[in-house]
Amino acid sequence: MRTAPTILHLDMDAFYASAEQAAKPSLRGKAVIVGGLGPRGVVATASYEARVFGVHSAMPMAQARRLAPNAAYLVPRFQFYRSISDQVMELLRALSPLVEPLSLDEAFVDLEAGGAAWDEESALLVGARLRADIRDFTGLTGSVGLAASKMLAKIASERAKPDGLVLIEPGTERALLGPLSVRTLPGVGPATGDHLRRAGITTVDEIAEAGEDELVRLLGKAHGHALYAMALAHDERPVVAEREAKSVSVEDTYDVDIHDRVRVGLEVRRLADRCVRRLRAAGLSGRTIVLKVRRYDFSTLTRSETLRGPTDDPAVVREAAGRLLDSVDTTGGVRLLGVGVSGLADYTQEDLFAQAAGEGVEEPEEETRGEVVMGEPEPAERRWHPGHDVRHSVYGLGWVQGSGVGRVTVRFETPGSEPGRVRTFRVDDPALEGVEPVPLVTRRALAGAGPLGAGSGDVGEAGAGPPGRP
């Protein structure tokens, strides 16, 4: 393990909710909850104002509504979040060629590989400047952890939340880790945590005291060795530059189980088209079509078919997904459907209709009690999603505050305006239309520097640290 805290972990603060607050003046300082709004939806992100009421991510949305009935509940806008994430990731890549994104709002950076930092002082300077640049470019805040390993850098960023910076000094790791819960360590989820608890092991110190042989006996050779090393603060995992996508997929969870086989088929076709749109947007094609079905009893089945060559043709994906659906019994009802494409390539094969039908492969998954659709909401005809941007031919830009019983309520405001007025329209009002997300107004934009580009060179200069580098 390295001797300087030159691994950085960035975690944006309440990312989705904070982005919505920045985009909607009337929600700043208010409780905002983003996630699936149906009976089976779950919370994707809750603002810090909402967390005061006990709301947290992965909580069933129905429970969140009971805890915070007056919060703003919004449907995710992943295109909008992705655009902000792209700016943040570009700031990180200006610091180092080794950036490992974990999600839209989280990443590791090897500062030593880019020459941005080499000791505690230079690492702190880079971390402080990065936080300032993120605020300037996006208007949002991120928490930064600095340490000599990925595990400790992530622990540091968690301690820095919200909007802070924490550096763990080399040599202090064992004392820091000792009293922490075993769940702090990477790879220790609920099942492993319960297994260790039954063995009387609840803290990291107790893992170290148990010894490597006992951990191997309890967890198996690979997991036992790795966990013992991490309990001793040994984490040699390198920061790996972002990997190529292994698959592209979309899925929807339905508020009410679907029993009609015809509708199930139509939903699968619709999901296949959405998946292909995403595939083409990434300039990719794929050979393996995957269908995911979660049934009424929470059992989850996957079926797959591998084609002779990669494709991005919607007709081919629809037909393959339809064949896979034929092998699944949906009699009792369906709560979730998904279509994906794997075996990705950056080219297509012209002979698209000469596929050999493969045998379906069933892969049972763990039971899930609630889901949020982690994909772009399907633009249904005259369907208005709370939080999404709209334009009225008379009143201009705004966002959907809510809809129901044939009416849609819109608050007319934009990121750079004052809190706006609320007006209600018929859901089929021809003067109202959905629009692409309105960009945030940031300090950098107001200064005329635009997004990232010519102005981003100063990030690298910030990472260069003070004079006198050895």
List strand residue ranges (DSSP E) for 148-261, in order: 165-167, 247-258
Cα distances (angstroms) measured from residue 82 to each of 76, 99, 218, 292, 375: 11, 17, 41, 25, 11
How far is Cα 287 from Cα 311, in angstroms, rounded to an integer?
Answer: 6
Q: Which tokens belong to 141? A: 């805040």
**Count of CA atoms in the C-beta half-sphere (13 A) of 91:** 27
- Which amino acid type is present at position 365? E
Residue with tokens 């896979």: 324
Helices (H), strands (E): how many in the chain?
A: 15, 17
Given the residues 106, 112, 251, 267, the one annotated as active site: 106
Q: Which tokens belong to 73? A: 């509940």
Q: Residues 219, 195: contact at Cβ < 8 Å?
A: yes
**Catalytic residue check, 106:** yes
Do β-strands 99-103 and 72-74 pair in parallel, antiparallel, or remain unpaired? unpaired
Partner residues linked to 304 by β-bridges: 290
Residue with tokens 């064992």: 174
How far is Cα 282 from Cα 246, in angstroms, rounded to an integer?
Answer: 12
Residue with tokens 């292994």: 246
Residue with tokens 């050779």: 221
In the three-class reduction of DSSP (H, G, I as helix; E, B as strand; rest coil), residue 28 is classed as coil
Any idea which residues carry the catalytic annotation?
Answer: 106
